[in-house]
Amino acid sequence: MEKKRGDWQKARNTPAGKETNAPLGVFVLEYDASNEDVEKTRNWKPIIKIAVSGAAGMISNHLLFKIASGEVFGPDQPVALRLLGSERSQVALEGVAMELEDCLFPLLREVDIGIDARKVFEDADWALLIGAKPRGPGMERGDLLEMNGGIFAEQGKALNDVAKKTCKVMVVGNPCNTNALICMANAPNLDKRNFHALTRLDENRAKCQLALKAGVFYETVSNVTIWGNHSTTQVPDFVNAKIGGERCTDVIDDQAWLENDFTPAIQTRGGLLIKKWGRSSAASTAVSIADAIKALVTPTKEGDWFSTAVITDGNPYGIEEGLVFSMPCRSNGDGSYEIVEGLKINDWLRERIKKSEEELAGERNCVAHLMGVSGGACPILEDTLLPGEM
Ligand code: LMR
């Protein structure tokens, strides 16, 4: 269907959800290209479709404007944003689209909003799955897995049926590693290696604290790996990290600080932030999603790597297969990645990595029924979610 700017104007005066002319049942915004600077757009790449769930939430409110400005996918990459909300957030989503329109971003070619994943994910090149229910009072970790897992099973099916087969999926909604696993299991048409769970926020947090301790600029901190789950069992790896090209442990000659202060500070930083803010991180999460995407669409610096949680199948560290586990990765910039081999795993790291692995295997057992596997069971899991979520 041809879409014109007029569709948006017309639909704006129509009660939300009642517009029949627009493909997603709500409204469509598309710029009129007839007066455009043709020279400027001549070298642009073909447009890509980016689907975002939880699009009316706080994280998206920071992220969408970065994407639309070209900061994430590059200054020659036009984008179509496809925003998924819920019935409750439908009208707020119209507000988000209005703000995007008011920013006059040349690279933003189209905004569609909707509440049906099967429509919103159609032909998506990227799916950023941010929306998830927060944990309510009295809920166990297993309850949250069950509740959010159901959402990610449905979204996986929708991606399987309507997204491009090459669609890259970045799961942010918690518990993100296992949500990504559920999503993957329900989307067999997509390569398992196209799924990521976000641990770049943890990597950024670790880099910041190491830089502050060493008294250097952030950019001099490199080779930081987050191993495992995005929970308090995650392992921020100071053993293989570097500062100004030197071993981090040579620059910060304080093993006690690295083990007993730095490590738990990174593991629990999200929870501390929730206590202070009264809500979970939004701006820094959005920045880290942008960083995680940029890490995949630009070549990784020689000798460096980044952290992202990916399928463990065939991993070189002996981590159990069939988990979504954060590991050191590199990219040649085409959206794919490879796991970096040969990091030194000493006893201190091994013991902690094992604990995160066991936690993820337990989570997988809990949600087996959402992955089409029978026989799973969900014992009361140790509470490693962030304290502020209670
Ligand atoms: C964080 O690490 O800040 C968030 O993942 C916390 C949360 O659960 O919202």
Each residue's pLDDT tens digit, 14-72 = 444 444 344 444 445 555 556 566 667 778 999 999 999 999 999 999 999 999 999 99
Greater model confidence, 216 or 387: 216
The secondary structure of 295-312 as a DSSP string is: HHHSPPPTT--EEEEEE-
Query: What phi, psi does 297 have (nearest 5°)?
Result: -105, 5
Distance 158 CA to ligand 1 centre (A): 25
Three-state DSSP class for residue 201: helix
**180-233 residue pLDDT tens:** 999 999 999 999 999 999 999 999 999 999 999 999 999 999 999 999 999 999
Question: Given the CA of residue 280, which atom of ligand 1 is nearest to it?
Answer: 9
pLDDT number for residue 33: 57
pLDDT number for residue 390: 37
Residues in the chain: 390
pLDDT number for residue 383: 67
Helix axes 58-69, 90-102, angle to 10 degrees: 30
pLDDT number for residue 127: 98
**101-146 residue pLDDT tens:** 889 898 999 999 999 999 999 999 999 999 998 776 667 777 888 8
- In degrees, rounded to 5, the angle at the alpha carbon of residue 14 between the alpha carbons of residues 13 and 20 is 135
Closest C-alpha to 141, from 177, 114, 187: 177
Distance CA 46, CA 386 (A): 41
Distance 145 CA to ligand 1 centre (A): 15
| 196 catalytic residue (yes or no) | no
Q: Is 386 in the pocket of ligand 1 (CB under 6 A)?
A: yes
**299-311 residue pLDDT tens:** 999 999 999 999 9
Average pLDDT over residues 8-19: 43
Q: Is 266 in the pocket of ligand 1 (CB under 6 A)?
A: no
Q: Is 174 in the pocket of ligand 1 (CB under 6 A)?
A: yes
Ligand 1, atom 5: closest residue by C-alpha: 270
Closest C-alpha to 327, from 335, 342, 171: 342
Distance CA 144, CA 100 (A): 32
How many percent of the chain have pLDDT more than 70? 86
Distance CA 340, CA 327 (A): 8
Ligand 1, atom 7: closest residue by C-alpha: 280
Distance CA 205, CA 213 (A): 13
Three-state DSSP class for residue 390: coil
**70-92 residue pLDDT tens:** 999 999 999 999 999 999 998 99
Distance CA 196, CA 367 (A): 18
pLDDT number for residue 45: 93
Active-site residue, from 62, 196, 230, 369:
230
Question: Given the CA of residue 389, which atom of ligand 1 is nearest to it?
Answer: 8
Q: Is 281 in the pocket of ligand 1 (CB under 6 A)?
A: yes
pLDDT number for residue 31: 52
The conformation of residue 228, written as its DSSP 8-state character, comes to: B
264 cis-preceded (ω within 30 degrees of 0):
no
> Residues 247, 253, 257, 262: what is their CA dihedral angle, to the nearest 10 degrees?
-20
CB 218 within 8 A of CB 188: no
Distance 280 CA to ligand 1 centre (A): 5
- Model confidence at 376, pLDDT cuts 50, 70, 90, reads confident
Average pLDDT over residues 170-189: 97
Question: Given the CA of residue 174, which atom of ligand 1 is nearest to it?
Answer: 8
Q: Is 114 in the pocket of ligand 1 (CB under 6 A)?
A: no
* Close Cβ partners of 296 (under 8 Å, ≥ 6 residues apart): 168, 196, 308, 331, 333, 335, 336, 337
Instruction: Name the residue of 200, 274, 279, 284 whose CB sits within 8 Å of the most ligand 1 atoms, as the mutation to test its pocket.
Output: 274
Distance 281 CA to ligand 1 centre (A): 6
Average pLDDT over residues 353-363: 96
Q: Is 232 in the pocket of ligand 1 (CB under 6 A)?
A: no
Name the average pLDDT for the chain: 89
State yes or no: pLDDT of 317 exceeds 50. yes
Distance 366 CA to ligand 1 centre (A): 21
Q: How many CB atoms lie within 10 A of CB 364?
A: 23
Residue indicated by tokens 């997988």:
364
Question: Given the CA of residue 176, which atom of ligand 1 is nearest to it?
Answer: 5
Question: Given the CA of residue 386, which atom of ligand 1 is nearest to it?
Answer: 8
Distance 41 CA to ligand 1 centre (A): 38
Distance 329 CA to ligand 1 centre (A): 22
**b/e per residue 241-254 (b: at least 16 CB within 10 A):** bbbeeeebbebbee
Distance 374 CA to ligand 1 centre (A): 30
The conformation of residue 388, written as its DSSP 8-state character, comes to: G
- Please compute Rg for the chain using Cα positions: 21
Ligand 1, atom 4: closest residue by C-alpha: 270
Q: Is 209 in the pocket of ligand 1 (CB under 6 A)?
A: no
pLDDT number for residue 191: 98
Ligand 1, atom 1: closest residue by C-alpha: 270
Instruction: Name the residue of 386, 389, 390 whose CB sits within 8 Å of the most ligand 1 atoms, as the mutation to test its pocket.
Output: 386
Distance CA 97, CA 108 (A): 11
**331-349 residue pLDDT tens:** 999 999 999 999 999 999 9
How many percent of the chain have pLDDT more than 90? 75
pLDDT number for residue 141: 74
Q: Is 273 in the pocket of ligand 1 (CB under 6 A)?
A: yes
Q: Which amino acid would we find at residue 2?
A: E
